[in-house]
Each structure stands twice: as structure tokens, then as C-alpha cells.
Structure 1
Amino acid sequence: MDILPVPDGPAVIACNACRFSKEEREDGAGRRGGAMLAEELARLQAEDPAYAGVAVHAMPCLFACTEFCTVHLRGPGKVGYILGRFTPGEAAARAILDYAARYADSAAGQVPYRDWPDGVKGHFIARTPPAGALVA
């Protein structure tokens, strides 16, 4: 395993090896859902200035293999989140990035529920503490 350094700022890391769905490993064209979601996240982030404060990265396997189309949301000094069970495409990518932009603007990574885009509700899998800290 190689470690690839990236800038330390708010980021969405997409698992580009994730299954297409709970039932299917790939779509009809042989593409994994994670790769499709990662591409859509990168495209939207590059095109929309509202997402300039959030980096988008892809890596193989977040080890959330009982789920599909998973992403990790992280930022320095912030609580992190693993989200999944998305249908790869623009709607999911936009909901993830809309949440990520609010996350980036938050002090500790906590976004009030009333500000969550509908597209991320029900997709949270885990919450992770920031490095060197715990959530009280």
C-alpha cells in the first residue's frame, strides 16, 4: 500500500472500487458504481464554484464493503463521516457536495440536520473523531 499525500483541507474521498448497488457489482457496461460516483463528484466540483472549498479525491476501497457507493468526508479538526448506499449520478454527487460545502464552513464538522440536503439523509454509516481528539 502506498500513501499518496494530498492537501489537508475539507475533502470528499470516494471509494472508486465500490459496487454499483447492493445487488450488482457493476452496471450493464461493466463500470463500478464507486468509479461513476467519483467521476461525477470530480466533474461537479470542477464546474461549480460553490464547491471550491472542498477537494474531491478517489481511492480504492474504504473497507465499507457491506455498503455500496461510499464516500468519506473529512477536514482538519473536524468530525469525519462515512456515507454510502448512493445511486451513482449527478443527484447523489450534488447532494454529497452540498453537504460537504456546509461541512467545510462548520467549526467542528457538525451540520445542523435542518441544513442537510435530502439526498444525504439516511446515507450516514459512521462518524469518526478528528485526529488527536474525541467527540464529547
Structure 2
Amino acid sequence: MLTRVDDGPAIVACNTCRHSSDARDDGDGVRGGTRLVAALHAVKAGHASYDGVAVQEMPCLFACQDFCTVHLRAPGKVGYVLGRFAPTQDAAQAILDYAVRYAASEMGQVPYRDWPDGVKGHFITRTPPAGFVVE
């Protein structure tokens, strides 16, 4: 089943992701994806600079070995899947900081020098927007 959401810049977070490479849940029995989604919402709520990026969630992005996974997307822009995050507010802030730069970019490509340290090493794949390939 598909649920319609706003078609603007968004972080789509997997709410069923593993907590880590070796644990499905944390010590309280909560999935890492659930914790990361909560952290994204909490960080976003505290900063007006994040208003231009939606936080959306769905079960399973099929990147299970790369726990705590998110997909960045926006119309007409290259999309990215990132993972292997700790489900923390620091990770959520880095993801949101990158997402703001991503949303402001022309084609979804943010210069490496502008990447927050918290997203470096977390990129899994990039996807072209519908009707395009990247040169």
C-alpha cells in the first residue's frame, strides 16, 4: 500500500531498521529505526532551519545490513540512501544538516566540503531522479 506524502525535499527514514549490525533492538526492545525517527522529529522540531525538509517514515527500505537507514529525495534531484547511523540526536542533526544543503542544491549534489562530518562514510547509494541519469 502506498500513502501519498508531500512531494518536496524529504528524509524518508526506515522505522523498522536494526539498532546496529549485531542487534535488532536496543536494551529496551526498541528498533534502531524507531529511535532514529524519533530523534529526527525531535531535532527538526527544535530548529526552524529544518522547516524546508520533511521527515517521513516507512517500514523497511531493504537496506537491512546497513541499519538505521534513510533516503533523501526531492523532485528533480539525485536521491541518496545513507545508513549505519547510531539512532541518536547527533546523527539526526547531521542528517538534517545535510538535508538542508541537499534541498538548497540545484540537482541534489552537495560539495563534499559542505558535508557535515556526521554523514561522511554513511552513503550507500545514489539514485537518479525519474527520467534522468547522472553524467
| Counterpart in the other structure of 1:83 | 82
| Counterpart in the other structure of 1:104 | 103
Quote the sequence identity (%).
64
| Offset of residue 41 of structure 1 | 0.5
Q: Secondary structure at the match of 1:12?
A: strand
Task: Kindly tell me the number of residue pairs found equivalent between the two proteins.
Answer: 135
Where does the alignment leave 5 or more consecutive residues of structure 1 unmatched?
A: none
Q: Secondary structure at the match of 1:66?
A: helix
For residues 131 and 35 of structure 1, the distance between their equivalents in structure 2, rounded to whole angstroms, comes to 29
Moved over 6 A (4+): none
Q: Secondary structure at the match of 2:106?
A: coil
For residues 41 and 77 of structure 2, the distance between their equivalents in structure 1, rounded to whole angstroms, comes to 22
| Offset of residue 46 of structure 1 | 1.9
| Offset of residue 131 of structure 1 | 1.0
Partner AA of 2:97 in structure 1: D
- Relative to the length of structure 2, the TM-score reads 0.99
For residues 24 and 42 of structure 2, the distance between their equivalents in structure 1, rounded to whole angstroms, comes to 23
Where does the alignment leave 5 or more consecutive residues of structure 2 unmatched?
A: none
For residues 58 and 47 of structure 1, the distance between their equivalents in structure 2, rounded to whole angstroms, comes to 19
| Offset of residue 67 of structure 1 | 1.1
Counterparts of residues 20-59 of structure 1 (less than 5 Å): 20-59=19-58
Counterparts of residues 1-20 of structure 1 (less than 5 Å): 2-20=1-19
* Residues 58-92 of structure 1, C-alpha deviations (whole Å, 9 max, x = no match): 10000001110000000000000000000011000
| Offset of residue 100 of structure 1 | 0.1
| Counterpart in the other structure of 1:128 | 127
Q: Secondary structure at the match of 1:62?
A: coil
Partner AA of 2:23 in structure 1: E
- Relative to the length of structure 1, the TM-score reads 0.98
After superposing the two structures, state which structure 1 stretch, 41-50 or 117-126, moved more: 41-50
